[in-house]
């Protein structure tokens, strides 16, 4: 419930901050155009009638301003842009109107806030997302190289691609055209560099995952099939505070629940909503495929169990059994594999939550 005297809305951009404030006692509206420096924003806010609360939209400028305001004792909310309410008939959009609209929503408790990560969480999240970007770059580079060969009728057929044997086969390729050879050499070099970049980031993530505040949670999450240390670390830092969810609600946060448009007696459901964190959703969907095969704890999985608490091992064992049984039921019902896998991923999110909130002792 809004209890402060003044509500402040900020429309934050890289080179400017448009501010609007509403005094709840006098009804006076204050407006200003500020530089993006935190000091200037704090100085303007400090001159307003207090106590006050501030809100701005989540965006590429990050959470530095929110942390600076909070450090001075000012309540600051970072609004989820996709949840902001706007009148249907509003056809004029300016920075000043947006700032004033935010101030009004804050006063009416109409702002859905995002969680502000700690500096440690944000730094770890930057590293995880750099690794995700390197994975995507490597995939694109491999596709370019393989399609270049395909256009010239060259197809690898001696086993799995992108192995050491495949790499030796690639190095033996020669072309009569100098231009084609130069294009191939460039594409191959791009693959090598992208692969080395990904491996370097993997090593850094592995080191941090084994000696940070996320270590215990990573060990618990890695007790589930399909979740390695890298995946567990990504889940831990991307979601952050697991206590704000429930086992039944985390699937909706990650966009793994069906969309729906129902009215009156009609009910229509469509594909999954795909809202929330795209990276976490992809990781869970990939991990869910591992539960399709019969559940026999491998040597690698048992080694992961040894690093977790007995309660986590018991919980994960039950989860692995349950998720495989879900796959068996879907196969008996002739469900499409991709549809069944998303359903398993939704339930896997709930099992991850149960392990994440499990006490360490």
The per-residue pLDDT for range 138-149, each reduced to its tens digit, is 999 999 999 999
The string of pLDDT tens digits covering residues 85-116 is 888 888 888 999 999 999 999 999 999 999 99
Kindly state the average pLDDT of the residues 16-21: 94
The string of pLDDT tens digits covering residues 344-353 is 999 999 999 9
Average pLDDT across the chain, whole number: 93
Give the helix ranges, DSSP H, for the chain: 38-46, 64-71, 95-107, 119-151, 164-171, 178-209, 215-221, 229-239, 250-253, 278-288, 299-306, 310-332, 337-356
Given a contact cutoff of 8 angstroms between Cβ atoms, the answer to whether 327 and 291 are in contact is: yes
* Cα distance between residue 267 and residue 260, in whole Å: 7
When pLDDT is cut at 50, 70 and 90, the band that residue 217 belongs to is very high
* Cα distance between residue 249 and residue 260, in whole Å: 16
When pLDDT is cut at 50, 70 and 90, the band that residue 361 belongs to is low
Kindly state the average pLDDT of the residues 318-323: 95
Q: Is the dihedral of CA 186, 192, 198, 204 positive or negative?
A: negative
Q: Determine if residue 276 is left, alpha or beta; phi over 0 gives left, psi from -120 to 50 gives alpha, anything else beta.
A: left
């Amino acid at each position: 419930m809004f209890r402060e005297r003044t509500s402040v809305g900020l429309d934050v951009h890289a080179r400017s901050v448009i501010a609007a404030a509403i005094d709840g006692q006098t009804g006076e509206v204050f407006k200003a155009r500020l530089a993006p420096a935190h000091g200037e924003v704090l100085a303007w806010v400090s001159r307003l009638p207090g106590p006050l609360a501030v809100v701005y939209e989540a965006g590429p400028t990050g959470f530095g301003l929110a942390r600076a305001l909070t450090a001075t004792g000012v309540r600051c909310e970072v609004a989820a842009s996709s949840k902001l309410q706007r009148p249907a008939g509003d056809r004029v959009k300016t920075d000043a109107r947006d700032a004033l609209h935010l101030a009004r929503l804050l006063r009416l408790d109409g702002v859905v806030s995002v969680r502000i990560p700690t500096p440690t969480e944000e730094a770890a999240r930057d590293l995880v997302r750099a690794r995700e970007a390197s994975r995507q770059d490597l995939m694109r580079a491999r596709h370019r190289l393989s399609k270049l060969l395909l256009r010239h009728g060259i197809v690898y057929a001696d086993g799995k691609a992108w192995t050491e044997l495949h790499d030796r086969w690639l190095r033996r390729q020669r072309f009569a055209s100098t231009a084609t050879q130069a294009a191939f050499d460039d594409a191959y070099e791009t693959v090598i560099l992208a692969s080395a970049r990904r491996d370097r980031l993997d090593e850094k993530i592995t080191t941090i995952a084994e000696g940070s505040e996320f270590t215990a949670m990573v060990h618990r999450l890695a007790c589930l099939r399909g979740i390695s240390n890298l995946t567990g670390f990504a889940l831990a830092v991307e979601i952050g505070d697991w206590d704000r969810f429930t086992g039944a609600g985390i699937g909706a946060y990650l966009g793994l629940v069906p969309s729906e448009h129902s009215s009156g007696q009609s009910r229509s459901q469509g594909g999954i909503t795909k809202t929330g964190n795209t990276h976490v959703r992809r990781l869970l969907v990939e991990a869910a495929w591992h539960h399709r095969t019969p559940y026999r704890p491998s040597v690698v999985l048992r080694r992961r169990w040894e690093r977790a608490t007995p309660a986590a091992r018991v919980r994960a064992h039950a989860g692995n059994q349950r998720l495989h049984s879900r796959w068996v039921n879907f196969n008996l019902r002739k469900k499409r594999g991709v549809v069944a896998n998303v359903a398993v991923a939704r339930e896997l999110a709930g099992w991850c939550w149960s392990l994440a909130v499990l006490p360490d002792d």
